[in-house]
Each structure stands twice: as structure tokens, then as C-alpha cells.
Amino acid sequence: MKKIGVLLVNLGTPDSPSTLDVSRYLKEFLMDPRVIDVNALWRSLLVKGAIVPFRSAKSARYYRRIWDQHTGSPLKHYSILQREALQQRLGDSYMVEMAMRYQNPSIEEALKKFRNALVSEIRVIALFPQYSSASTGSVYEKVMKLVADWETIPQLSFVQSFHANDLMIEAFAEKGRVHVPASYDHVLFSFHGLPERQLRKCDQTKGYCLQKNGCCSGLNNINKFCYAAQSHDTARLIALKLNLPKEKYTVSFQSRLGNIPWVRPYTSDIIRELAAAGKKRVLVFCPAFVADCLETLHEISVEYAEEFKTYGGEHLQLVESLNDSPIWIDALLGLVSESTPEFTPEVLDVACVEEQINMGS
């Protein structure tokens, strides 16, 4: 019987919250040239000589705070539940495996299972709604490098991004409705940050990204693969589901590392500004993550929540991630079988944008 392999890949998590395991995880993660995209020598010196030695113990403390005594890493736990739920929905003609880009279970291990099972094709879904070279791109590069050594390569297909997937949008909206967004003074959509230079690298025209006013505010044929533009679009679509007026929500970016410019505005700055403006209650979505993890459970729920109070705010509430939401599993089911739709710009006049670039305006 023909069997199709489905590989779900998330970013990664240490094997335990020990400093040693966290150090091992950070080293593998940050040594990826797509993550820290500088020359190899400088990256090695930076990661092994500065970041990992100084961040491992601190990060390990944070991991211990979110680590469950029975289920361990939240990211791994929810990823396993997603795999199990999708396998049940797909049935025996599919073989669903879950892997992490960094640490365990590894992509290599999952691919070996597919190879031993003689699957006829493999569908790879990197569990990052918005495309970036440092996340989705890294996963697909890893898969292709590993499969390239096989004598017989099965049919491979990849989901490039799913930032506007309607079921995923509805799943986030459903999570938000639990908290009654109208009862909050403001809603924040906080996405994982990226260095600005990585956005510029995705601009094939070399004359649009971060050089045009509002370049990320809407999707067009030029910025269709831009992480920030896709993030803004995800937030816009969730806001539409929740009937949030534009003035009621803000898009921001978290998890900045180092002093170089990252995508703005920074979540920490927006939190301070909201408190200064008299906003007392803020509801926070993190639509770059489909499972709760360190960045949601600690960075938002603990660090930013405490910061907000020091600035005069009263309550900052995290919206739970998709985790094992049935609607999210429905979305995954669709991603397994759907072909990539033709891109159609929804907001900006592409011809006008291209004309502006050609004129250098």
C-alpha cells in the first residue's frame, strides 16, 4: 500500500533544563549560518566565546520555570500531541513524524524512519507560519542536504509558509475570544524578531525593504516572502476575525539578541509606550508560534508582564498558543494535501510599487 510521509518540524528545545543541555542546544541553534548570518570564524567566536558561555545558565533557569515534571518541554510536548492528532486524522496511509531542527528528535532520525518504511513521498511542514530564512529556510535546507545522500529520493514537497491560512487564523482567534478582547485596553501581536539585514537579503530588488514607507504594512509581489510583511498580514487577519479596529492593536517583535538593528517596533518598547499612554490591560497574541514555548510562557508571561507593571500597567495577558487545538489540527490536515496557491496581492497595487522602485522614489 502506498504510504506518504508527513514531517512536522519545529525549532528545537534542550533535552533537559540543565545548563549542559541548554548549552548544547544553544550552540547548535546559533551556529546555524542562517540564524547568525555572518562569516564562519566570527560566528564561532561570537557563539562559543560569548553568547553560549554567558547565556546558558540564565536560559537554563528560565527553562526550569516552564519545564513540566511529567511532560517536560512544553514545545516538545505540544508538538508530540500535534503529531498524534494529525496521525489519527490522516489514517494508516500516512506516516506522521515530528522533529526539531535543533536537538531531539532530529530531522535525520525522522527521515530514516520514512526511508525504512519505504514511503513513496514526503511532505515537509516547518511549523513557522511566516517564512524566514532562519527558520523555514533552515529546516528545508537541512532536509534537502540529508535526502541528497539517498540513492533513491522519493517525491518531496514543502509548505513555504501559511501565514494567511484561514483555519490557522480562526484557531488563533478562538484562543483569543476566551479572554474577551473587548475587555482589554489594547491588543498586541508580538512576533519573534529578526535582524533587519535578514529582511533586506530577502528583497530581490534591493530597493524596497526598509527603504519605502510602510513597506511591511501590506503584501505585494515584491515583499511576498518578507517575514515582517507576512507577520503584519497574519495580525491583520486575526484582528478581522475578532472585529478589532486598527487603532485597537499593534504589531511588534520580541526576542532581540545583541545590539544590531532588529525588526521594529520592539515589543519591550511598545509595552512601555502603552503603559505611558494609560493602558492598564493588554492582551498579547504570539502568532509566530504554533505551540507554547520559552518565548511565550516566560518571555511574555513573566518578563514582559513584570515590565508592564513596573511601567504602571496592571495586567498583561498571554493568549495561549495553538498547541493541540482541533481547529489547528484541521489546518494541518489541509496543509498536508493542499498545493501551493498562486499568490495574489491583497492590499497594495503591485504595478504602482514596482514603478516607484524603478523611479527610485
Q: How many residues does the chain have?
A: 361
Q: Domain segments of the chain: what residues?
A: 4-16+67-162+327-337, 166-318
pLDDT confidence of residue 308: 98
> Which one is the CATH code of 166-318: 3.40.50.150, 3.40.50.2300, 3.20.20.70, 3.40.50.1400?
3.40.50.1400
CA distance 93 to 86: 12
User: For residue range 137-189, what is the model confidence (pLDDT) as tens digits?
Assistant: 999 999 999 999 999 999 999 999 999 999 999 999 999 999 999 999 999 99
- The continuous run of DSSP H or E covering 109 comes out as helix 107-116
Q: What's the predicted TM-score (pTM) here? A: 0.93
10 Å CB burial of residue 7 (0-12, 13-18, 19+) is buried
Match 499593534 to its residue by C-alpha cell.
250
Q: In this predicted structure, what is the pLDDT of residue 41? A: 97
| Per-residue 3-state assignment (H helix, E strand, C coil) for 243-281 | CCCHHHEEEEEECCCCCCCECCCEHHHHHHHHHHCCCCE
H or E stretch covering 96: strand 94-103
What pLDDT was estimated at residue 276?
A: 98
Q: What is the pLDDT of residues 262-281, one digit of tens each?
A: 999 999 999 999 999 999 99
Confidence at residue 2, expressed as pLDDT on a 0 to 100 scale: 85
Topology of domain 4-16+67-162+327-337 in CATH is Rossmann fold (3.40.50)
CB-CB contact of 157 with 124 (8 Å): yes
**Distance between CA atoms of residues 175 and 262, nearest Å:** 28
Q: Would you say 225 and 131 are in contact if contact means Cβ atoms under 8 Å apart? A: yes
pLDDT of residue 120: 96
Indicate if 166-318 has the same CATH topology as 4-16+67-162+327-337.
yes
CB 189 within 8 A of CB 251: yes
Residues 6+ away with beta carbon under 8 Å from 130: 161, 163, 191, 227, 230, 231, 234, 288
What pLDDT is attached to residue 348?
A: 41
Alpha carbon distance 132, 254 (integer Å): 15
For the chain, which ranges sit under pLDDT 70?
339-361
